[in-house]
């Protein structure tokens, strides 16, 4: 129809002006996406892994350490001598902080904490030399000749991992010896409390040891660089959206059509899985003349919605006949206390360009 309208024709002289027909053309455009990575902190404290199956958190290693003499007054009294080892118990704790933009997170499968125990005592607190077959009841060792050690990892007051060592089956040599344990983590963590690592040792009385009450026992907790979470609640306070660009090839449209462009609009169907709202700018480059950036509203809704960007005939004529680039950028903010996101979440902008082409004779005796 358009080809016929644009071909040469004879117009009767009795007609003062031939009618002008408007036809609507639909030009598909590639969908653009904005990934969840755009909403994450710029300091890389929260990142998305390559497979987009988990967020990787930056968590510092922590060490909980205690001096023997602070927990064992009887040990302090005999320091510098060789004497029967007194019974004692000790507890040490330290907190690993979580990224500041994180509110809460659900731990992913396979998350572990590496617990490195360093015993600088001059003796094994779990299996002391010359341990008694029977010791006093009512104490932490409760008639056992062997001690034990329990480590718990909590967040927000909830246990997310634990480990226990029984001196009957596991030695813990002194004088700087180390023991490495892998602690499986599961559940949810909170930024407000971080990861609290607490280790408690119950050591029964034993035989003669060279006592040095200045020695320490240390427990280091480290989740490493692979600490991942399957979902997270994060703070998004006026977060800048990194620009994303998509080409739109209009170079094959010649002047026969472009000269008749009257108006048009870009219809965007937006699917937004994030509880964020804001305004994006649509910039168009590589057009014949500069085009003022257009505003695109982003609503915080679970259902897909549309927004339209209007173009004048002059703007369309600057775009058609060229390979233009559509670039979206701007900023968004959370609409609630925080935003719950998954690593695979993306915001999708599906675009369709509708244009109105005017065709027909312009005057009596003129050509179509």
Q: Which of 13-17, 321-325, 359-363 has the lowest mean pLDDT?
A: 13-17
Q: Is residue 294's pLDDT more than 90? A: yes
Residue 132 — very low, low, confident or very high, per pLDDT cuts 50/70/90?
low
**Are 135 and 242 members of one domain?**
no
CATH of the domain at 338: 2.60.120
**What percentage of the chain's residues is helix, strand, coil (to nearest 5)?**
10, 50, 40
Residue 11 — very low, low, confident or very high, per pLDDT cuts 50/70/90?
very low
Mean pLDDT across the chain: 86
> What average pLDDT does range 288-303 have in this prediction?
93
Q: Is residue 230's pLDDT more than 80? A: yes
Is 368 part of a structural domain of the chain?
Answer: no
Is 48 part of a structural domain of the chain?
Answer: no
Is 318 part of a structural domain of the chain?
Answer: yes
**Are 256 and 221 members of one domain?**
no
Residues 66-99: tens digit of each pLDDT: 999 999 999 999 999 999 999 899 999 999 999 9
Q: Is residue 360's pLDDT more than 70? A: no
**Are 207 and 125 members of one domain?**
yes
User: Residue 1 burial by CB count (10 A; 0-12/13-18/19+): exposed, middle or buried?
Assistant: exposed
Is 353 part of a structural domain of the chain?
Answer: yes
Is 145 part of a structural domain of the chain?
Answer: yes
**Are 70 and 191 members of one domain?**
yes
**Are 114 and 201 members of one domain?**
yes
Q: How many domains does the chain have?
A: 2
The residue out of 226, 246, 277 marking a domain boundary is 226
- Given a contact cutoff of 8 angstroms between Cβ atoms, the answer to whether 293 and 281 are in contact is yes
Per DSSP bridges, beta strands 216-222 and 55-57 are: unpaired
**Are 88 and 180 members of one domain?**
yes
**Are 173 and 101 members of one domain?**
yes
**Are 205 and 260 members of one domain?**
no
Q: What percent of the chain has pLDDT over 70?
A: 88
User: Can you give the pLDDT at residue 32?
Assistant: 85
**Are 147 and 189 members of one domain?**
yes
User: Can you give the pLDDT at residue 130?
Assistant: 76
The residue out of 226, 245, 272 marking a domain boundary is 226
Is 366 part of a structural domain of the chain?
Answer: no
Q: Is residue 184's pLDDT more than 50? A: yes
Which is more confident, 118 or 224? Answer: 118
- Given a contact cutoff of 8 angstroms between Cβ atoms, the answer to whether 304 and 269 are in contact is yes
Is 47 part of a structural domain of the chain?
Answer: no
- Show the domain range for 182: 60-226
**Are 278 and 298 members of one domain?**
yes
Give ∠ CA 63-168-125 in degrees, rounded to 5.
Answer: 40
Residues 93-131: tens digit of each pLDDT: 999 999 999 999 999 888 899 999 999 999 999 998 876
**Are 257 and 356 members of one domain?**
yes
CA distances from 136 to 12, 95, 201 (A): 121, 34, 17
The residue out of 196, 226, 256 marking a domain boundary is 226
Is 50 part of a structural domain of the chain?
Answer: no
pTM: 0.79
Q: Is residue 58's pLDDT more than 60? A: yes
Q: What percent of the chain has pLDDT over 90?
A: 66
Q: Is residue 293's pLDDT more than 90? A: yes
Give ∠ CA 115-116-118 in degrees, rounded to 5.
Answer: 145
Q: Is residue 138's pLDDT more than 90? A: no
**Are 240 and 126 members of one domain?**
no
């Amino acid at each position: 129809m358009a080809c016929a309208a644009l071909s040469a024709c004879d117009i009767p002289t009795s007609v003062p002006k031939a009618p002008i027909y408007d036809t609507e053309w639909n030009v598909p455009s590639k969908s653009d996406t904005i990934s969840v990575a755009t909403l994450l902190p710029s300091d890389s404290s929260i990142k998305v892994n390559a497979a987009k199956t988990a967020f990787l958190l930056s968590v510092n290693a922590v060490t909980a350490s205690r001096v023997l003499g602070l927990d064992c007054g009887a040990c302090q009294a005999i320091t510098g001598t060789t004497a029967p080892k007194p019974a004692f118990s000790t507890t040490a704790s330290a907190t690993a902080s979580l990224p500041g933009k994180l509110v809460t997170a659900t731990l992913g499968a396979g998350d572990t904490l590496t617990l490195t125990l360093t015993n600088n005592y001059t003796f094994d607190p779990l299996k002391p030399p010359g341990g008694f077959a029977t010791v006093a009841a009512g104490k932490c060792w409760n008639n056992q000749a062997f001690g034990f050690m329990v480590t718990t990892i909590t967040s927000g007051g909830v246990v997310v991992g634990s480990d226990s060592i029984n001196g009957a089956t596991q030695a813990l040599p002194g004088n700087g010896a180390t023991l490495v344990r892998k602690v499986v983590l599961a559940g949810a963590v909170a930024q407000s409390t971080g990861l609290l690592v607490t280790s408690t040792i119950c050591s029964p009385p034993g035989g003669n040891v060279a006592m040095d009450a200045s020695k320490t026992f240390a427990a280091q907790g480290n989740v490493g660089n692979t600490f991942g979470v399957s979902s997270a609640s994060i703070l998004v306070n006026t977060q800048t959206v990194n620009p994303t660009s998509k080409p739109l090839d209009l170079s094959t449209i010649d002047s026969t059509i472009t000269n008749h462009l009257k108006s048009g609009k870009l219809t965007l169907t937006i699917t937004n899985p994030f509880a964020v709202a804001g305004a994006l700018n649509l910039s168009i480059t590589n057009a014949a003349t500069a085009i003022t950036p257009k505003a695109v509203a982003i609503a915080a809704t679970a259902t897909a919605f549309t927004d339209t960007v209007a173009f004048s005939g002059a703007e369309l004529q600057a775009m058609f006949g060229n390979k233009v680039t559509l670039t979206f950028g701007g900023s968004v903010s959370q609409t609630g206390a925080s935003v719950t996101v998954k690593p695979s979440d993306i915001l999708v902008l599906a675009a369709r360009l509708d244009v109105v082409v005017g065709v027909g004779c312009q005057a009596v005796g003129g050509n179509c």
